[in-house]
Structure 1
């Protein structure tokens, strides 16, 4: 098996939800991806959405407004996401650092590096790649615990995040012309990566029992 075969199997099953963003992550290409990448750590997305709604009710509609929000107010707003004191501190610091370093969200998306993101407090490999993929539309495939569990079901285990990511990306790049035909339209590598990760998450959420993924419905 390779990751291309996995993508084909997931696509034939109809993942992703049609009501989601075209790139799967809600509000892709906006600063909300940066917010969500921190808030979703050890939290359900439904709780992240509650936090985002709270922020919007406070008039937050940009990194600039987020950076000027009082810490006490920010803590209260993001409580649904859990670990709110730590996340509020990391979120405020990240928003401030982005504006200080890049001046604007658009310039950040164009010029930020993975290394810079990983140097920021509260940003690990998965969070950095989520920001690069869904906010900046870079050619980066996010791999997470769902990805590792799914491929483990087919007998594949990897020693590191980087090894799993490399294996996943290799299958897409090697069969990219076939993927274009599969979708019957031109797609960028970044879009394929975004949707592939989304398909994996959606499938695993619906077919998991604890930390075990039921792969019985996937025909490779």
Structure 2
């Protein structure tokens, strides 16, 4: 199979019915602050480990800016231990939470006003994490691309030197074919929701493909 743009990739993935058992915006948690924390905690670990950390934080009532800001570092470290790099992540979470409170006052205001540049200035926040926060927690019109995206488009013969180039390719094909996408979905899907589901389809497709590949090696 050949594709000439990201719209054709989306169309192909949509035919696979990959997200039928997932939430509307694919990310497994719809609480914006939990998504924010999850985007940071998922660095260099499996999502299953992040879920354990989030459950610990939920049990300790530590799922707000104010609670994280008040809690002592030792308690936070213990709560997020399942996610790995517990000391480093705890320090960075405490710092960014403090900065959000100082700059934006509330998490709601942060979600409405924050931009990528501000996030990238925060210790431990790279391009993918920043975009995950902006797309899934803040519901901004930004497409997240990751190692799954890179591997999938590479299998179709597309290679990109930078994260930004891959992201631009994904976003351009979508924006340039919105009318066709509305026809495909049967309604005028929002760009944010579209980016969420496109990224989700890529991730779930690649996970399924990897499982099939590994099964075939046995």
1:5 to 3, 8, 15: 8
Equivalent-residue separation in structure 2 for 1:29 and 1:197 (angstroms): 19
Can you give the 5+ residue segments of structure 2 that lack an aligned partner in the other structure?
none
Indicate the RMSD between aligned Cα atoms, in angstroms: 1.6
1:135 to 116, 123, 137: 137
Equivalent-residue separation in structure 1 for 2:78 and 2:63 (angstroms): 17
Structure 1 ranges of 4+ moved more than 6 A: none
1:28 to 2, 27, 30: 30
1:159 to 158, 161, 166: 161
1:21, CA displacement in angstroms?
A: 2.4
1:68, CA displacement in angstroms?
A: 1.3
Equivalent-residue separation in structure 2 for 1:170 and 1:106 (angstroms): 29
Cα deviation code 1:184-207 (max 9, x no counterpart): 122111110111001101111111
- 1:189 and 2:191 equivalent? yes
1:26, CA displacement in angstroms?
A: 2.2
Moved more, 102-111 or 28-37: 28-37
Bigger fraction of residues in helix: 2
Cα deviation code 1:159-182 (max 9, x no counterpart): 000000000000000111111111
- Equivalenced residue count is 211
Cα deviation code 1:88-115 (max 9, x no counterpart): 1111111111111100011001110110
Equivalent-residue separation in structure 1 for 2:106 and 2:40 (angstroms): 19
- 1:16 and 2:44 equivalent? no
Q: Secondary structure at the match of 2:103?
A: helix
- 1:74 and 2:76 equivalent? yes
* TM norm structure 2: 0.93
Q: Secondary structure at the match of 1:31?
A: helix
Equivalent-residue separation in structure 1 for 2:141 and 2:30 (angstroms): 14
